[in-house]
Amino acid sequence: MAEEKAKKVTKKSTKAPEAEVKAESHSAKATRDDNTYAVIETGGKQYGVTEGDTVKIEKILGDFKVGDKVNFDKILLVGDKVGTPYVVGAKVSGSIKEIGRNQKVTVIKYKQKSRYFKKNGHRQPFFKVEIDSIV
């Protein structure tokens, strides 16, 4: 009986050690020292952006067309500056590259044994914005 326990222990101890995971940041963008990285808030969501990125965001109220300039003033983080809640004086500007609608989402309401069935569809509008500058 003692020999069986010893075998079990040796089996556990002979397992190859798991590879060590390096402590790297999740994004290479976050490790930059200059002010080329920012976190913006728009449409109830937060986006990490750098200059030249293209971001798909919620539709912004107003009469916008492809090619129009958009300024984001709700900036949560720029470089190493963290806002409380927003960074004062920081601005991110971009230009609209595409206006469209996402794929249809089907919404079904159903109650069994009562002959109740409703089917609706919804397509959420979006903007694709290319980030031009972070100030």
Per-residue pLDDT tens over the stretch 48-104: 999 999 999 999 999 999 999 999 999 999 998 999 999 999 999 999 999 999 999
Give the pLDDT of residue 22.
46
Q: Residues 93-116: what's their mean pLDDT?
A: 97
Is residue 134 within 8 A of residue 36, CB to CB? The reply is yes
pTM score: 0.67
- Determine how many CB atoms are found less than 10 A away from the CB of residue 127: 22
Domain limits, the chain: 26-99+126-134
Q: Residues 8-33: what's their mean pLDDT?
A: 49
Is residue 81 within 8 A of residue 87, CB to CB? The reply is yes
Give the pLDDT of residue 36.
85
